[in-house]
Structure 1
Amino acid sequence: MIVPTANIAPSGINLTNCETEPIHIPGYIQSHGFLVAISANDFVIRYCSENSSTFVNRPATDLLGKPLDALLTETDLTAAELVSILNVGKRENAWSRMNPHRFRINGNEWNLIAHQHDTLIILEWESAVAAHAHFEQQLIADALSEVQSNRTLIELIQNTARRVKQIIGYDRVMVYRFAADWHGEVIAEEKESHLESYLGLHYPASDIPRQARELYKTNLVRIIADVKSAPSPIFSLRDGEQAEGQPLDLTHSVLRAVSPIHIEYLKNMGVQASMSISLLYRGELWGLISCHHSTPRFVDFPARQAAKFVSQLLSSALEFRKDEEDQSLLFQIQQNGQTLNSQILKDWDVVVGLTQHPLTALHINSATGAVLAFDNTFYCMGKTPTESAVAGITNWLKTQEFDTVFETDRLPELYPPAESFREVASGVLAIALSKELDEYLLWFKPEQVRQVTWAGNPDKPVTVSENGRQHLHPRKSFEAWSQTVRNTSEPWRDAELAVAIKLREDVLQVVARKANEVRQLNERLRVAYEELDAFSYTVSHDLRTPLSSIRCYSEIILEEQGATMDDDTRVMFQKILDSTERMRSLIRHILYYSRMGRTELNFTKLDMPKMLDVIRDEILITEKNKNRNVQIEFGAMPSIYGDPTMVNQVFTNLISNAAKYTQRVPEAVVWVEGRETSDEVTYTVKDNGIGFDMKHAAKMFDLFKRLENAASFDGTGVGLAIVKRIINRHRGKIWFHSEPNRETRFSVSFPKEQQTP
């Protein structure tokens, strides 16, 4: 039975329709090409677009369920040749390198674009326009030369718009940059002279809803050749495995049909063809190159790829220029942060060290005001709210769910009383020294009043039908509509957050060491801590005996009766053995964590090159057994005073973690380097692995806590807790800085002189 896969249109569109519309499974394709989906194992046709008869003189109903050669009767390509091409794509996952494949159908030139999704290979045919390879290659060469030259970023962006327009021939090409709330602004434009300029206009986030933004990260180029053409439905073959009407996932399709809401939007703009090219920064959507044409216009696949390459050059330039800027800022504020730490240690006083020197806590970011709330007193620096207003903020912060750092560039939206002092504090960055004692270090940024000009009123019109249901429509007018934006500040940068977290660690170290003066309370805490340690040690230790019995008996049964077991039983026994091994590892870590509270430390001067060489060899052997090549490189390796066993455990954990979280990187590199000052020795372990968002790292050292993006990697969630506890016993410090999908740096410092813990 042949069944259509198109989604049934809802009877009404609710106000969240744009965010929930399943645009990756529309059930239709654009009509300027046709689509066939075949099973990857047997190359039988499972899906076919209805318009196939227009191109290959055979209706979809004749093709479904047939082998691949049924499609090729009117082409100059044999089934064997196409199967050979597809097998290369399957075997080497080389679809992007293979596309497009050019051949004739009924005497016309076509481009075949293929990709695999799950168990299906999707084949899409588009017209092949006469090639202008020399012209496109020259434009690409010019763009590459320009990126390598010392031009400003805005010049590169504007010239990229011009080159894309030359390649695709559209009336208008705009570069559209996203803000933190996902609304966009046109920051560059190349257009025909008779068109009204859109440069500087803003567009609301709802114009490009969340699921569309996710697709833009996957499909970097998207074309709508004719907004008035009728889309062609996709039909599927119903069999025992294929659910009736199950839509084909077109996430990676070049012909995927367009949301009716977006078609209405383009028509309202007077646009009949559009094309978009994604601009990425560190794997995330930074902006779009948005192209409009007043008449239908098809751009063939090679020309789209040329435009895509020019945009990727711009993406690379974005990353390079922004990284250069961020590194310069990070270096300067890190230097200031180190000076603050030296002042605190020298004065042995948090207040004096942070507020009463020429360089204060105000100098580690771009804030215009700072307040240290400490020991029931406010110490103000720069332009700040009144003390009563600051007290209100600290009371409110106690109600917020954060452990380490809090930041916002829209404080009045979260805390309405802040509107009365928005001129000095529309943005706030706070580190909690003690939420229980209302002790914080806060930085403030002033309001940045902006006049934003929108392309029409950003509020989408809603109509109500006779049955009372609400319908959402794209706006019809795109005339400039101005709005004054208030209550916002300049955003806080990742580098500012990282240095604030490091300063918090410095301050808390001094506070913790001074707290030793409260001897009675410390003694009670020590006793309670030892009792808890002893309890966890006893429980963990006693668990090992029954666990060993389970493993031993399972191994005996498997060894003696394995030959007579069926496959399912043998698999279950192996799972028992694997689970006991994981539990043994977890118990071992818990025992080590508990034992550290009672073990005496043996301080000695450690030969770090020798220790690190041994650790590297052990890790490389482990990774080699996993068929992985990891580079572990060392810089300077100054000596450390510490307990050999525990310091070895610190670096084994940090370096093995770094190696583990680079598994998805083609060329994994771990860098270990030490540096020495008059007071301490600091080592940094850096990797180029998955990284993590600094805003989600508040519980990094908590037992059994793991970040979401680390869930797919083996681990117990105990390793970093052990490292933190060892560092504390050595009177040292540990801090970190990370950038998702780029790098992670863990730093540990040890006092220069031997100390009794």
Structure 2
Amino acid sequence: MSSSRSNNRGTCSRSSSARSKHSARVVAQTPVDAQLHAEFEGSQRHFDYSSSVSAANRPSASTSTVSAYLQNLQRGRFIQPFGCLLAVHPDTFALLAYSENAPEMLDLTPHAVPTIDQRDALALGTDVRTLFRTQSSVALHKAAIFGEVNLLNPILVHARTSGKPFYAIMHRIDVGLVIDLEPVNPADVPVTAAGALKSYKLAAKAISRLQSLPSGNLSLLCNVLVREVSELTGYDRVMAYKFHEDEHGEVIAESRRSDLEPYLGVHYPATDIPQASRFLFMKNKVRMICDCSATPVKIIQDDSLAQPLSLCGSTLRAPHGCHAQYMANMGSVASLVLSVTINEDDEEDGDTGSDQQPKGRKLWGLVVCHHTSPRFVPYPLRYACEFLLQLFGIQLNKEVELAAQAKERHILRTQTLLCDMLLREAPVAIFTQSPNVMDLVKCDGTALYYQNQLWVLGSTPSEAEIRSIVTWLQENHDGSTGLSTDSLVEAGYPGAAALREVVCGMAAIKISSKDFIFWFRAHTAKEIKWGGRKHKTTDGDENGRKMHPRSSFKAFLEVVKWRSVPWEDVEMDAIHSLQLILRGSLQDEDANKNNVRSIVKAPSEDTKKIQGLLELRTVTNEMVRLIETATAPIFAVDIYGNINGWNNKVAELTGLPVMEAIGRPLVDLVMSDSVEVVKQILDSALPGSENV
């Protein structure tokens, strides 16, 4: 959807705004995902992937279609055959459901020819503890009465009749306990603990290598991660996959077998990983598919259960048909997917229900492993990978915060310099000097339209086209102070098609009733490069009809040809702040035609003094607000070295509240061995010298 919006500042925080926009995208995207699923189910091998994904006028899925889609994904009735599943009553261990392969895998199937009166090998209502040896039954019972049962996984159990070892992986659902049973190689049982310890040691080495990397290089961090996961698991290809703000994905790092096609740089449409699947990745951080071509195993359940068994947390959940087909088309038979989560921008009060994502975390991306033949990774090693990803998430979170702080410091510094220009010179200086308005936020071009004159920088529409945009804004958005959109087509601008090769996204602010500043962005595809093969008629996929990364890339380019990179909240805050300062420094000609400030001619000396005081007040108020809300720690001192400014972030990091910090000498707050250094910095900074 277009992110068209007014630039009027609301009362919600920036992070709350981002969360609201994300929720809106999820709500809008889920019916699209459901419709694609329905189209695949209806057409199977005739499904035209690229055209379906990029179809602009796809009918919205009905409520029943969405409900069926979600049920099929979360309660799909089938598991993968590498293990078996038992669902039991949490108190009595009475069997509520089981996979059809459970009797054979647990060696319960009679070897002799059964008699007419012989009981079934496994019956609903059976006390599951009787299927395992005494020590195993006791372990299962103890786990069941433990609150956080998943913390005890895996539990090594042995089948009663054969002694065959399994890892029991337990989790709670709405109707009871689910026990996933994964076979363990009998030769490994005597050293199971040692094997698990070895996995953790391997993960520890990988963690140590990650933590030894210098900060400030996210690309290096991700490249090292995929290499470490590749060495740890042995998959042919390991990719770091990042979700962008508009929900589409990008492969930002890759470790692969040399003969495999590279996917580094591929961008995927948001529909490639549906929102419902992302929700599952938040609940179940590791997802393994051993063989996408293996026939799934049906679950048999008690008729008293109101709906199919929830498989959201099961390690055995079978892949959906379209996902298995996608894997097969790209030559991948097995996969392992690990969730990468980081902190939300902030945390809000209030409990989260069981159907909501964990409080304070968001899905940043995935580490996706593919193999060209069936592959099974034992649970302890998968858990070691999950632990590695948790530590990576912590390190990644620091990198994301550092990048955000660096960006905010750059914006704050640029704003300060632009404000200084506005106080000292005519406003046109922010277009003709350095830094200029293009340095404030990332854009391809910018324009100032003032008193029927035009100043432009970078790649912009023609003068006639900008005047047309001004007219459109005045006629259609006159009640707002501006507009931001990543798609002029979806924003409704009638001349958008003619601008497509130059401009797709625009942020515009009104600095008076008839005057504007514009920032322009070209379509996203101009920034996208991928080194992999493009579509060829010899590929056998009918030019992108099949589900395949090349088809995804083609579909993504089709989707974004009318769209720019979205405008971030921090960028819109910066633009809005500049707007407030400009509106304070320029008199609205409609409000007072006799007191218009010329954009190229300085006012009289008396008027200049009065205006200067008003401008200074506006600028000061805005700069104070920016400093107080900055994510970077900022403090200020007076000429005596006493603290007279202490923003929220520095208070958070130091644990010293604002009211306790104000008025105290800065040197009193530093370690004794740093006092002289701080004094030297203050002695240099107070006269105006800059310390870098």
Q: What is the TM-score normalised by the length of structure 1? A: 0.57
> Structure 2: which amino acid aligns with 1:370?
T
SS at match of 1:296: coil
Cα distance, 1:337–1:259 mapped onto 2, change above 3 Å:
same
Point out the more displaced range, 337-346 or 316-325: 337-346
Greater relative contact order, per chain length (Cα 8 Å cut-off, separation 6+):
2
**2:241 counterpart of 1:148:** no
> Structure 2: which amino acid aligns with 1:504?
Q
Partner Cα separation in structure 2 for residue 75 and residue 501 of structure 1: 69
**2:217 counterpart of 1:139:** no
Cα distance, 1:183–1:383 mapped onto 2, change above 3 Å:
closer
Task: Report the counterpart of residue 410 of structure 2 in structure 1.
Answer: 332
**2:167 counterpart of 1:101:** no
CA contact (8 A) 1:430 1:442 kept: yes
**2:518 counterpart of 1:442:** yes
For 1:216, which of 264, 278, 281 is the aligned residue?
281
SS at match of 2:383: helix
**2:199 counterpart of 1:124:** no
For 1:497, which of 572, 595, 608 is the aligned residue?
572
Partner Cα separation in structure 2 for residue 85 and residue 226 of structure 1: 30
Determine which structure has the larger strand proportion and give its number.
Answer: 1
Q: Report matched runs for 1:249-268 at 5 Å.
A: 249-268=310-329
CA contact (8 A) 1:100 1:112 kept: yes
CA displacement at 1:331 relative to structure 2: 0.7
SS at match of 1:298: coil
Partner Cα separation in structure 2 for residue 675 and residue 392 of structure 1: 49
Cα shift readout 1:432-474 (whole Å, capped 9, x = no counterpart): 456xx354332124563645466775999999xxxxxxxx984
Task: Report the counterpart of residue 291 of structure 2 in structure 1.
Answer: 226
For 2:331, which of 270, 291, 294 is the aligned residue?
270
Q: Report matched runs for 1:345-744 at 5 Å.
A: 351=427, 359-374=435-450, 377-381=453-457, 383-397=459-473, 399=476, 403=480, 406-411=483-488, 415=493, 417-418=495-496, 420-421=498-499, 425-433=503-511, 437-446=513-522, 448=526, 450-452=528-530, 474-475=546-547, 492-509=567-584
SS at match of 1:23: helix
CA contact (8 A) 1:454 1:480 kept: no
CA contact (8 A) 2:103 2:121 kept: no
Cα distance, 1:193–1:107 mapped onto 2, change above 3 Å:
farther
Task: Report the counterpart of residue 383 of structure 2 in structure 1.
Answer: 305
Task: Report the counterpart of residue 29 of structure 1 in structure 2.
Answer: 79
Cα distance, 1:70–1:360 mapped onto 2, change above 3 Å:
closer
SS at match of 2:396: helix
Partner Cα separation in structure 1 for residue 519 and residue 466 of structure 2: 11
Q: Report matched runs for 1:274-293 at 5 Å.
A: 274-282=335-343, 283-293=361-371
Cα distance, 1:374–1:367 mapped onto 2, change above 3 Å:
same
SS at match of 1:384: coil
SS at match of 2:363: strand
> Structure 1: which amino acid aligns with 2:178?
I
Cα distance, 1:335–1:248 mapped onto 2, change above 3 Å:
same
SS at match of 1:248: coil
Task: Report the counterpart of residue 38 of structure 1 in structure 2.
Answer: 88
Partner Cα separation in structure 2 for residue 205 and residue 179 of structure 1: 9
Partner Cα separation in structure 2 for residue 358 and residue 201 of structure 1: 36
Cα distance, 1:401–1:247 mapped onto 2, change above 3 Å:
farther
Cα shift readout 1:653-705 (whole Å, capped 9, x = no counterpart): xx9xxxxxxxxxxxxx9x9989889xxx988556999xxxxxxxxxxxxxxxx
Cα distance, 1:453–1:183 mapped onto 2, change above 3 Å:
farther
Cα distance, 1:511–1:389 mapped onto 2, change above 3 Å:
same
Partner Cα separation in structure 1 for residue 455 and residue 259 of structure 2: 60
Partner Cα separation in structure 2 for residue 395 and residue 312 of structure 1: 52
SS at match of 1:150: coil
CA contact (8 A) 1:48 1:63 kept: no
Cα shift readout 1:139-166 (whole Å, capped 9, x = no counterpart): 3222222222234433332332222222
Partner Cα separation in structure 1 for residue 549 and residue 42 of structure 2: 26
Cα distance, 1:509–1:236 mapped onto 2, change above 3 Å:
farther
Cα distance, 1:491–1:137 mapped onto 2, change above 3 Å:
same
CA contact (8 A) 1:457 1:481 kept: no
**Which residues of structure 2 form unaligned runs of 5+?**
1-36, 53-57, 110-119, 344-360, 595-620, 653-692
CA displacement at 1:278 relative to structure 2: 2.2
CA displacement at 1:116 relative to structure 2: 1.8
CA displacement at 1:300 relative to structure 2: 1.3
For 1:74, which of 105, 123, 132 is the aligned residue?
132
SS at match of 2:495: helix
SS at match of 1:338: helix
For 1:50, which of 79, 85, 100 is the aligned residue?
100
Cα shift readout 1:102-143 (whole Å, capped 9, x = no counterpart): 222231221111122335322211123534345433432222
CA contact (8 A) 1:76 1:104 kept: no
Partner Cα separation in structure 2 for residue 359 and residue 174 of structure 1: 38
CA displacement at 1:422 relative to structure 2: 5.3
> Structure 2: which amino acid aligns with 1:224?
I
**2:236 counterpart of 1:171:** yes
Partner Cα separation in structure 2 for residue 80 and residue 687 of structure 1: 52
SS at match of 2:367: strand
SS at match of 2:131: coil
Cα distance, 1:688–1:397 mapped onto 2, change above 3 Å:
farther
Task: Report the counterpart of residue 87 of structure 1 in structure 2.
Answer: 145
Task: Report the counterpart of residue 585 of structure 1 in structure 2.
Answer: none
Task: Report the counterpart of residue 573 of structure 1 in structure 2.
Answer: none
Cα distance, 1:450–1:198 mapped onto 2, change above 3 Å:
closer
Partner Cα separation in structure 1 for residue 73 and residue 286 of structure 2: 16
Partner Cα separation in structure 2 for residue 137 and residue 251 of structure 1: 26
**2:399 counterpart of 1:321:** yes
CA contact (8 A) 2:80 2:318 kept: yes
SS at match of 1:258: coil
CA displacement at 1:518 relative to structure 2: 9.4
Task: Report the counterpart of residue 254 of structure 2 in structure 1.
Answer: 189
Cα shift readout 1:277-304 (whole Å, capped 9, x = no counterpart): 2233444434332222232221111111
Cα shift readout 1:337-390 (whole Å, capped 9, x = no counterpart): 23444555677x8x4685576554344223353333455554545553333211
Q: Percent identity?
A: 28
CA contact (8 A) 2:488 2:505 kept: yes
CA RMSD of aligned residues (A): 4.8
CA displacement at 1:26 relative to structure 2: 0.7
CA displacement at 1:85 relative to structure 2: 1.6
> Structure 1: which amino acid aligns with 2:226?
A
For 2:125, which of 62, 65, 87 is the aligned residue?
65
Partner Cα separation in structure 2 for residue 368 and residue 205 of structure 1: 25
Partner Cα separation in structure 1 for residue 503 and residue 448 of structure 2: 15
Task: Report the counterpart of residue 171 of structure 2 in structure 1.
Answer: 115
CA contact (8 A) 1:34 1:126 kept: yes
Partner Cα separation in structure 1 for residue 172 and residue 479 of structure 2: 43
Partner Cα separation in structure 2 for residue 56 and residue 176 of structure 1: 38
Cα distance, 1:169–1:121 mapped onto 2, change above 3 Å:
same
